Amino acid sequence: MNEHTPTAAVLIIGNEILSGRTQDANVTHIAKKLGAVGIRLAEVRVVPDSEDEIAGAVNALRACYTYVLTTGGIGPTHDDITTDSIAKAYGVAVSEHPEARRRLMAHYATSNTTVNAARLRMARIPDGAVLINNGVSGAPGFYIGNVYVMAGVPNIMQAMLEAVLPTLQHGPAYLSQSVSGYVTESMVAEGLASIAVRYPQLDIGSYPWQHEERWGTTLVARGTDQAAIKAAVEEILALVKSYDSAPVIDISPKI
């Protein structure tokens, strides 16, 4: 992997995730979108609705990675404390942002929605932050430094991410190919380990599955070097064929 490849962490914020009441639906989408533009997602962390824990996690992650993307906690209710927590992490105040207010007022005017104090909470932005456009519900996200703060609602998060991606530093796109066969992980473990040693620039892994009471494994080679992926997959295919004469190979590079 190129040492200059940009990296990212995702910080998921919310008691509802940790309690199991809500299942995260954002990380897979973010990982695929980042990989497509050559940003390596290196860590995912979940924290509760606590200013100290959010601020601490933000400060730890922003020191380690090129970008930090947060999801959740920027809505209109009392437990939406991400904005204040990010401000605490950066040591700045929070103020009502005139442009954020204008966008909210315009959005609510078109939907005949009453503007109240709770909704106007979403116009509060840390001083010095820049707005992230929200084409779905009007309430913007924001970024400050290398921290990008987005909604937790999937369709709103996705709209914000589309606004953010063109502004980020890109690297070579991450690609992957896979081979699947009726082999167990233990059968191919030694051979796969040898292949991984020969291709240190790739992420090579195995993922077991079961179909109609038969166990199989999908072996994946992933990275930015397409030639290395092709060569590694040829070796993986030969390995699987030594146990299963009819494996399925995904020969088209996938992001």
- Residue 68 within any structural domain of the chain: yes
Same domain, 114 and 41: yes
Residue 112: pLDDT band (50, 70, 90) is confident
Q: The domain containing residue 27 runs over which residues?
A: 7-167
Tell me, yes or no, whether 99 and 12 share the same domain. Answer: yes
Does 161 share its domain with 187? no
pLDDT, tens only, 201-225? 999 999 999 999 899 999 999 999 9
Same domain, yes or no: 118 and 229: no
What is the domain-level CATH number for residue 71? 3.40.980.10
Pair (212, 151) in one structural domain: no
pLDDT class for 227, splitting at 50, 70, 90? very high
| Residue 58: half-sphere exposure toward Cβ, Cα within 13 Å | 28
One-character DSSP codes across 147-189: EEEE-SSHHHHHHHHHHHGGGS---SPPEEEEEEES--HHHHH
Calculate ∠ Cα 218-195-224, nearest 5°.
Answer: 75
Tens of pLDDT along 73-103?
999 999 999 999 999 999 999 999 999 999 9
Q: Number of helices and strands (H, E) in the chain? A: 9, 12
**In this structure, are 124 and 233 located in the same domain?**
no
Q: What percent of the chain has pLDDT over 90?
A: 88
Q: Are 175 and 233 in contact (CB under 8 A)?
A: no
| pLDDT class of 110 with cuts at 50, 70, 90 | confident
Flag whether 27 is in a domain: yes
Q: How many CB atoms lie within 10 A of CB 45?
A: 15
Average pLDDT, the chain: 94
120 and 192 co-located in one domain: no
Do 83 and 150 reside in the same domain of the chain? yes
Structural domain ending residue among the three candidates 128, 151, 167: 167
End-to-end CA distance of the chain: 16
> In the listed set 167, 195, 217, which residue is the last one of a domain according to the structure?
167
What DSSP element (H or E) covers 101? Answer: helix 98-110
Element (H, E) at 3: none
230 falls in which pLDDT band (50, 70, 90)? very high
pLDDT digits (tens, 9 = 90+) for 181-191: 999 999 999 99
In this predicted model, what pLDDT tens digit does every residue of 160-179 receive, in sequence order?
Answer: 999 999 999 999 999 999 99
Give the type of residue at 169: Q
1 within a domain of the structure (yes/no): no
Residue 2 forms part of a structural domain: no
Q: Say which CATH number the domain at 242 has.
A: 3.30.70.600
Mark which of 101, 136, 167 sits at the end of a domain. 167
Please state the domain count of the chain: 2
In a domain, 94, yes or no: yes
